[in-house]
Every structure is written in C-alpha cells, then in structure tokens.
Amino acid sequence: MSSYRAMGVTGGRCRVNLLITLFLMCVCIATAAATVAGAGYAKYRDPRQPLSRRIDDLLGRMTLAEKIGQMSQIEQANATADVIKKYFIGSVVSGAGSVPAVKAPPETWAKMVNGMQRAALSTRLGVPILFGIDAVHGAGNVYNATIFPHNVGLGCTRDPKLAKEIGAAIALEVRATGFQYAFAPCAAVCRDPRWGRCYESFSEDPEVVQGMVAAVISGLQGDIPGGQRKVAACALHFVGDGGTMDGDNQNSTFHELLRIHMPPYYSAVRQGVSTVMVSFTSWHGVKMHANHFLLTEFLKTRLQFKGFVISDWEGIDRITTPAHADYLLSIKLAIMAGIDMVMIPYTYTEFIDGLTKLVQNGHIPMSRIDDAVRRILRVKLTMGLFESPYGLAGELGKKEHRELAREAVRRSLVLLKNGKAGDKPLLPLPKNAKGSILVAGSHADDLGSQCGGWTVTWQGVAGNNLTTGTTILGGIRQAVQGHGTDVLYYEKPDAGFMRRNKARFDYAVVVVGEPPYAEAFGDSLNLTIPPPGPSLISDVCGSVRCVVVLVAGRPLFVEPFLDAVDALVAAWLPGTEGQGVSDVLFGDYGFTGKLARTWFRRVEQLPMNVGDEHYDPLFPFGFGLDTQPLKT
C-alpha cells in the first residue's frame, strides 16, 4: 500500500513538473509572440507590409545620426567599412573615372560594392546602401561596357521604343557592377550648341525630349519598379541647364523655363522617376541648389514628385561665391530648399557635423529631415533593396547589348548631303571597288573620340586604349571583307600625297570631328572643326570623290566645306559600335535619321531654334536625306 502511495506521489510530482514545464513553454511562446508583435518585429523588413507602414516603422526607429547618414552620398574611394558603419552612410557614388582598378572587370566592381553593402547591412538597422554611377550612355565608368550613342544622336531616331530598350540594357550593365542607381537620363533641352553638355540632350524640341526621357526611365526602372534587373533612374539636371546665356555650363537661365525646359520633368514625374538631380545653373540669378520655389513648391508640391531630390557633385558648395565660403549657410539653404540627398564626395564629415548642428540648434526642423529620409527610404524599399541588396552577374558588354547599340548607331546617323550638282549620289558606297578605298582623318580609328565624354573617365580620352569596341575604320574593313577591296588608312594625307596617289582610290571616307570633352570643358564659342580637319577635307575631297563623316557632340561650322564634299554624314558620338556607321555607308541599311536640332550656318546666329522668328539654318530641324538599303 505504501509502495503504491509512493508511486502515486512520484507520479503526481511528475505531472506537476510536466504542467509547470508546459506552462513555462506557453509563457515563452507568448513572450516571443509579444516580442514579434512589438519592438522586436521590424515591419520595415516585411515585404508583405504596405509601403507606407514599412517607411513609418523604419523612420520611427532611426536616430538623428542615422537619418543624416541616409541623406549623405559619399565617393566610393572614401566608403570604407568603418566610415559606412560610423556615419550610417546611405548612398555611395562612383565619380567619373573613379574605379576600383584600371580596366577592372565587373567582378572587381561587384566585390567592392558588396563589401560596402555588407558593412551597411551590419549596422543596427541594416539599411542598404544605394550605389550611384554616371550612365548617360551606358555603364560609362566600367571597362568593356557597351557604350551607346550619346543622346544627341538618339534624338535623331525619334524612337521611344528603341530608347526604352537601351534603358533596359543599361540597367542590366549597371547592375552587373553591383550598382543600382543610374544618373540618367538627361532631361535638358539644349537650345544652344555652344553648351558643353549639348550632346547629353536629345533635342532642342521639348516634345522630342519628353518622349525620349520617359522611354529611357521606363527602360531603366521598368514599368513596375523593383527587382535585380532594374535601377533607380535620375532625371537631370533640374532645371533649365540647356538654356543658359551663351551656352555657359553654369550660367543663369532667364527665358521660357516653363514652356521649354520644364516639360521633360512633367513626363519624368508621370513615369515615376525615382530621383531628380539639381542643376549647377541659376534661374534669374538664384542658384538652383537653393531655390525653394522650384524644388519644393513646384517639383514636390505642384508636380507631386514622390522620389528624392539629389544635389550635383559638390553642388551645395557653389551656392556661395567663392564656393564653400560659408558652408553652414550652404547646408541650410540647400536642405531648406528641398534637397534630400547631398552628393558630398569628400567633405562628408563636415556636412554631417554641420547638418547635425543646424538641426540641434533649431535652424532646420526635424520635419524637413524626416521628409527627406522618408523619400529616400521610399526609393530603396520600392526598388526592393532590402530583399535583394546585391548585384547581378554576367550582363556587362554582352552581345545582345552591342547589337542593340549598333542598331542605335545606324538609326541615329543623319545624311546631310549626297552628291554634287549634276552628279549621281555617292552613297551607298560600293563594297567591290575597282581600286582602293582611302580612309583618312583623326577620328577614323579612334574609339575614345567615338565615345566622347563620360566614358571610363569624366572627360573621355582619345585613342584606342580606353575600352573595347569597333572603330569606324574597323567597321569599314569588315564591311568590304571578302569583296577583293583594299582599304588604305592614312590619318593625315596632305595635298602632295593626294596628287601622287589619287588615281589609286575609287573614293575616300574622311572622318573628322571634336575631341572628347564633358561639361564646361566643352563650352565653345566658335564650334569649328579642329585642325587639321578643314585642310584634310580640302585636300582629299579636292582630289577624289569623298564622304565626310563628322564625329561630334553637336552641329559644327561646315558651310565653307560643303561644296567640296560629295556626301556629308552626321555620326554624332556613336559609342563603341563603329560598325553601325559602315552598315549604312555601304547600304546594308538605309539612312533614316532626322535632325533633332537645327544646324546653323554661322555661329553668330546662335542661339537659333525651330520656331524662331528669324530662322535661317544651313539644315533645318527635322532634315535628313533617306537612302534605300542595297539589295543583296
């Protein structure tokens, strides 16, 4: 009996212990559930939550230091893991020419970017970095990237579908480096070709610019933004930079801001562009980086732009004259004007300290900081960076992209003249010449000059060591291969050479143009063909029938040479796929491009645009001769 009693006591104790254990487990589960439902459950990490709830949740967790870090974009050379973690850096920029190594492959870029991203994700809140890179005509900083024709040429295609396809290809090549933010497209309406950035503009006509800008944004971001195959786009530069006095890159715009220069931004905002970059220019003397009316009242309030506004490179420094003279004032004016993210490649500690002080002293309200960070977080969450913070491999310079670029070259070429009076047209050229073909000129075998500025380096570099691709000379040689035709290349044949050898040549292709340049370094008041281009045209075209191919970022002064040439082709800045030029010269495809800007007679006429009262162009807006492809 006692033994049974003992057994009963032991069993009872076991049951009690079991109940206690179950109770404690329930308490733990309940506590864990409460933790998940409360402070420990991060709604911002849950993609099932509505976007606004994720933003509110994350913003509510952030300290002032973390918020200001999100507003800071620094140069990749300074973005060490320690800096990223200490200052909670929200964005990194790879300035033009800033590379992890000379001729670095995409894997090296991705390794660099992924290391920075891991540092950001290891911080308390783990907010991913948004990496930005110049991509006005391709992943331009990266060796072996596909370099598409600059916008001055693409505008001549008048084809938004092509522009969208190019935007999608650029997005893939940018993501191949680990970057997810492309500084493109340029929404400027260039009204004066003396401006050094005119080649970044699609046209002098705002309607053409509108259609092309919206298409590129759609290609870059996708019709539904997000995913590893798309990037955040940036409409630049807000606003009026294409209408400055005398084409001065950082001058003031006075006229027709709303009618001419603003419409592309209407289209960009409607297309859902993620970001807008501010111009270095002024409007009626007020620096755009400090213009509250245009940045906040007009862009954000009236146009209802939901993305974030970013400054240009050290743009807030230039609010004062001289630059950086009163940096605290510049920070205050820029942030209160409506700039959300500040591109401060080098002075980031000074900016962070200054902005912190301005907020703590009440000179900048926390509501303005919260608005800026909310906009930045909206872009990052919409892009899906919290779910897919890393890049995409295997897309840089791929064959499909190069074929697309070659097609874009073909369709951007504009035929301005084809045949002298009384002669039959010279184009298309025969591939089976009886004698030889002379190819001449500084730009015939020069990949760097074909690509222009914003290619691997900021200003671009002449020559064939910049990146990989096909020169115009290389395209010509491939075009006639197998037809028993000799192609002889002389960069600078003079009059004596032509007298001695003109009987050898059936015809000549003379390729001349501008050297590479970018921004203010391209500002020019004369727009002449650099020497020895003019004398070369005279010497060669005075001896044999010739086609002159002009490689330039804008119309140049050509009227004095026009009678001497048999055919004249505007090739603009065609990029890496020079075969696109030979495809059309030899009749595999016809000429279809139409001028997207007016070709002046004399520089003294400038600015001169279609619709002006005194309109007397050498070639009017929309001009372009057609040819039919040869039957094969």
Q: How far apart are CA 619 and CA 59, in angstroms?
A: 56
The arithmetic mean of pLDDT across residues 68-89, rounded, is 98
Residue identified by tokens 């419409």 is 263
Which amino acid, residue 280?
Answer: F
Residue 40 banded pLDDT, cuts 50, 70, 90: low
pLDDT band at residue 26 using 50, 70 and 90 as cut-offs: very low
DSSP string, 332-373: HHHHHHT--BEE-SS-HHHHHHHHHHHHHTTSS-HHHHHHHH
Residue 17 has pLDDT above 70, yes or no: no
In the chain, where the domains are located: 69-383, 413-605
What's the rounded mean pLDDT across residues 326-343? 98
User: Which carries the bigger pLDDT value, residue 578 or residue 435?
Assistant: 578
**H helices of 413-505, where?**
447-451, 472-480, 495-501
What is the average per-residue pLDDT within 183-193?
98
State pLDDT tens for residues 252-262: 987 799 999 99
pLDDT of residue 72: 98
Q: Report which of 340, 431, 341 is spatially closest to residue 93, judged by C-alpha positions.
A: 341
How much is the pLDDT for 632?
60
Instruction: Provide the pairing of β-strand 308-310 with 567-572.
Output: unpaired
248, pLDDT greater than 60: yes
99-103, 194-198, 252-256, 600-604: which has the minimum mean pLDDT?
Answer: 252-256
Residues designated catalytic: 312, 519
Q: What is the mean pLDDT of residues 525-533?
A: 95
H helix or E strand, kind and range, residue 331: helix 327-337
Predicted local confidence at residue 168, as pLDDT = 98
Give the relative orientation of helices 263-270 and 206-221 as an angle to the nearest 10 degrees. Answer: 20
Asked if residue 573 lies in contact with residue 553, where contact means CB atoms within 8 angstroms, the answer is yes
pLDDT category of residue 9 using cuts at 50, 70 and 90: very low
pLDDT reported for residue 226: 84
What's the topology of domain 413-605? Rossmann fold (3.40.50)
Which string of b and e fits 356-366 if b means at least 16 CB within 10 Å?
A: eebbeeeebee
pLDDT (0 to 100) of residue 37: 38
Question: The domain 69-383: what is its CATH number?
Answer: 3.20.20.300
State what percent of residues in the chain have pLDDT above 70.
94
At 2, the pLDDT band (50, 70, 90 cuts) reads: very low
Mean pLDDT of 369-387: 97
Span 508-530, average pLDDT: 96
Residue 246 has pLDDT above 90, yes or no: no
Compute the 3-state secondary structure of the chain and give helix, strand, coil in percent, each to the nearest 5.
45, 15, 45
Instruction: Spell 387-400 as b/e; 16+ CB within 10 A means b.
Output: eebbbbeebbbeee
**What confidence tens digit (pLDDT) does each residue in 259-276 have?**
999 999 999 999 999 999
pLDDT over 80 at 33, yes or no: no
Q: pLDDT by residue (tens digit) across 536-566?
A: 999 999 999 999 999 999 999 999 999 999 9
Residue 6 CB coordination number (10 Å): 10
Strands 181-183 and 130-134: parallel
Q: Which residues contact 401 (CB under 8 A, 6 or more apart)?
A: 146, 169, 172, 173, 395
Of the pLDDT bands very low, low, confident and very high (cuts 50, 70, 90), residue 87 is very high
CB 492 within 8 A of CB 498: no
Give the Cα separation of 439 and 433 in Å (integer).
13
How many C-beta atoms lie closer than 10 Å to residue 51's C-beta? Answer: 12
Q: What is the pLDDT at residue 247?
A: 87
49-53 mean pLDDT = 97
- C-alpha 14/C-alpha 6 separation (Å) is 12
Amino acid identity for residue 285 in this structure: G
pLDDT value, residue 16:
39
Encoding tokens for residue 273?
A: 């562009």
The span from the CA of 237 to the CA of 183, in Å, is 10
Identify the three-state secondary structure at position 512. Answer: strand
Q: Which residues pair with 283 in a beta bridge?
A: 253, 286
Mean of all residue pLDDT scores within the chain = 93
- CA 314 – CA 287 distance, rounded (Å): 13
Comparison of pLDDT for 227 and 333, the residue scoring more: 333
- Kind of pairing, strands 505-513 and 436-440? parallel
